[in-house]
Structures are given as C-alpha cells and as structure tokens.
Amino acid sequence: MQDRWFVRGQEDAFDTAMFVVYISYFIVPQLAGILIWRSNRSRFQLYVAATLVTFGSGLLISFILPTAPPWLAGQEGHLPQVFRVIIEVTSDVEAGARDLGYALAGANPVGAMPSLHMGVTVVVALAMWAQHRALGVVGALYALTMALALVYLGEHYFVDLIAGAAIAVAAWVGVSRVPRTMKAAKEYR
C-alpha cells in the first residue's frame, strides 16, 4: 500500500487521516465504554470483560510469539523498505511532544502479533452491534478503517489483524456465554 499511496516528504491528508484513525484507539474504546455504561449496565460488564480478555490473551500471545512490526522489519532489511508513516506525519510536531507521547504510550518493537489495536476495535464494533444494528454498521466501518490504517502505517501485518479480530470475537462470544452457563448451573442444582 505504501508503494502506491505514500510519498516520503510529501505527507498528505490521507496520511494524516490514517494517523488520526490510529490514535483514536486511545480514546474511542473509553468513549464507547462510557456510552454503553450509561445505556446498559449489564452490557457494560460484557464489554469490559471482553476487552480485558482480549488484552490479556493478546499480551500472552505477544510474549509467546514476539513479532517485529513491518516498519522495524523493513529498517532491519528483512522486508523491502516499509516506512513508519506515523513518524513521517508527526515529523513537524514539536519533538518534545512526540517524545512525551512515546513515553506515555510506548513503542513495542516485538508486539505486532496479534494486533491489540484491531482486537479492541473489534470489541468496540461488537458492542456497538449489540446496542443497535445501525451502530454496528458504524462500528464495522470503524474496524475496517482501523485495519487499513494499521497496515498502511506499517504498524501491523494483515495476519496480525486477523489474529487480533479472532481473539476479540472469541472473547466476546466466550464472555457472553458465562452468565448463561452460570444460570444453567444454578438451575441444575
């Protein structure tokens, strides 16, 4: 994608838009949680549990299978050159502000697999779908846009996205079954 759309030194509105989608990950899940909490407390519990399971599972997999992101593999010569578009887009930003962002959020050079950005975004989309089908469409479009941004920016491989989405779906389904299983167990007694 970068070969077709990215020109180093000539960052454009598309590059900035992809960056904004990428950083929305640090805000949208919390906003979604607040909205769910206000409208449906039991669904909020499901949302939080699925998010935590997604994070926990994703972190465990990243420890077991450390994978360098495409931009780093490109820098080390394991791939054709892949730019870290985030750095290119923010190159005009005050260096101290960018460094502060990295100090707060960090950069993980071996955390590409699975994509927690994708996983958590899919949990948001599933929660939106559970709220209302129209919101679900918005959530699905958000997840697809996040997928595009993650690959385009050089942060993740496509397989990382699939793994992150699969973990999120498994977490959502698994956590949503817990109350029914507990209710069935109580009725069995």
Condensed to tens digits (0 to 9), the pLDDT of residues 16-51 reads 999 999 999 999 999 999 999 999 988 999 999 999
Give residue 2's pLDDT: 83
Select the more confidently predicted residue: 145 or 97: 145
Residue pair 168/54 in contact by the 8 Å Cβ criterion: yes
Which amino acid is present at 44? F
Give how far Cα 184 sits from Cα of 41, 55, 149, 171, 179, Å.
22, 28, 43, 20, 9
Condensed to tens digits (0 to 9), the pLDDT of residues 93-136 reads 666 666 666 666 666 777 789 999 999 999 999 999 999 999 99
Angle between the N-to-C axes of helices 41-64 and 158-188, in degrees from 0 to 180, rounded to the nearest 10? 130
**Is a pLDDT exceeding 70 seen at residue 154?**
yes
Residue pair 25/117 in contact by the 8 Å Cβ criterion: yes
Give residue 134's pLDDT: 94
Q: Is 69 exposed, middle or buried (0-12, 13-18, 19+ CB in 10 A)?
A: buried
Select the more confidently predicted residue: 157 or 109: 157
Residue pair 34/48 in contact by the 8 Å Cβ criterion: no
Q: Please, which pLDDT band fits residue 151 given cuts at 50, 70 and 90? A: very high
What region, left, alpha or beta, does residue 154 occupy, with left being phi > 0 and alpha being psi -120 to 50 degrees? left
Give residue 79's pLDDT: 84
Closest CA to 50 of 108, 149, 125, 147: 125
Give the integer Cα–Cα distance in Å for 35 and 107. Answer: 29
Give the integer Cα–Cα distance in Å for 29 and 124. Answer: 6
Closest CA to 18 of 105, 69, 90, 122: 90
What pTM, to 2 d.p., does this model score?
0.87
Q: Which residues contact 175 (CB under 8 A, 6 or more apart)?
A: 46, 49, 50, 53
CB atoms under 10 Å from CB of 79, counted, come to 15
Residue pair 157/112 in contact by the 8 Å Cβ criterion: yes
**3-class state of residue 107 by DSSP:** coil
Condensed to tens digits (0 to 9), the pLDDT of residues 41-91 reads 889 999 999 999 999 999 999 999 999 999 889 888 888 888 888 888 887
